[in-house]
Structure 1
Amino acid sequence: MDDALSRIFTSLGTGVPVLLLHFATMLALLAAGVLLYMAITPFRERELIREGNLAAGIMTLGIFLGISIPLAATLATSTVWLDVVLWGAVAVILQVATFLVATLIMPGLRHLIEAGNTAAALAMVGVQLAVALLNAGAMAG
């Protein structure tokens, strides 16, 4: 029993620092991805949310989920820190590219979101989440 307990504590001692490093890296990638996303959107989500614009809040939810889903898949399949960083960056880039392509398909998105059109926001979140799940599946490959 003492041998098993010793192995558990040894495992925790080596595993927790790696977990914290990977988790901190993913939080940094999530923050960078969200900031990049918000920088390229034609509207100012934070201002619109402060004004009570539900569509902007829904879009922001989609941004966070759309980026975090493939990042989670990256964490689940990568064990080396550099692998986590590189595949995490790829995940963020693909999700940002998704937004750019989707805005071509949904012209006038800026005006729809600024007007509080929740249907447009939900459609965009649907695109973001669908691509995020495919992206995560491909990364888990």
Structure 2
Amino acid sequence: MFGYVAGLPAFLAYFVLGLVFYGVFALVYSALTPQKEMTLIRAGNMAAVTAYLGSILGFGIVLASAAANSVSVVDFIIWSIIGVLAQILAFFIASLTMTKLHERITNGEISAGVWNAGISLAVGLLNAACMTY
């Protein structure tokens, strides 16, 4: 019977760390981006919802790849930190390629939110693929 759940401690370690990294990412991302995501989301700003959710999903793809390809918990932590940095880079790439991105998101322009989300997902996919060594 216990053989079936032998991997449970490892699962719990990766899962709990993954949730912690989601929280870390959300805090760091919100602190570094000029717009106030949660305030805008609570106000019903769909551009902010789209942009933020794209960033969270892009990071989730990275976390999934890091968990699947890591050889240890330390390896997972290292690649998760790299994932946080890559997703922050994604926001700055999106900002460089769309004029006044954060202002447009704050003003509720859906195209700006979709642009940010798309860049975040693209960077997340590339980052995750590069982890499969």
Q: Which has the larger radius of gyration?
A: 1
Question: Secondary structure, in 3 states, of the residue corresponding to 2:65?
Answer: helix
CA distance in 2, matches of 1:101, 1:63: 13
Q: Does 1:18 align with 2:10?
A: yes
CA distance in 2, matches of 1:25, 1:53: 30
CA distance in 2, matches of 1:106, 1:75: 33
Q: Does 1:119 align with 2:106?
A: no
CA deviation digits over 1:10-59, x for unaligned, max 9?
251x3101100111111111110111111111110111111111111111
Q: Which runs of 4+ in 1 moved over 3 A?
A: none
Give the TM-score taking structure 2 as reference length.
Answer: 0.94
User: What residue in structure 2 maps to residue 60 of structure 1?
Assistant: 52
For residue 63 of structure 1, report the CA deviation from its aligned partner.
1.6
CA distance in 2, matches of 1:111, 1:100: 14
Give the TM-score taking structure 1 as reference length.
Answer: 0.89
What is the one-letter code of the residue matched to 2:110? T
Percent identity between the two aligned chains: 37
CA distance in 2, matches of 1:79, 1:11: 21
Query: Paired residues, what number?
Result: 133
User: What residue in structure 2 maps to residue 3 of structure 1?
Assistant: none
Out of 116, 122, 125, which is 1:130 matched to? Answer: 122
User: What residue in structure 2 maps to residue 39 of structure 1?
Assistant: 31
What is the one-letter code of the residue matched to 2:61? I
Q: Does 1:110 align with 2:102?
A: yes
For residue 107 of structure 1, report the CA deviation from its aligned partner.
2.2
Out of 78, 84, 92, which is 2:76 matched to? Answer: 84
CA distance in 1, matches of 2:65, 2:14: 12
CA deviation digits over 1:93-138, x for unaligned, max 9?
1111121222122220122111110011101111110111111000
Unaligned runs of 5+ in 2: none
Unaligned runs of 5+ in 1: 1-5
CA distance in 2, matches of 1:134, 1:88: 14
Q: CA RMSD in A?
A: 1.2
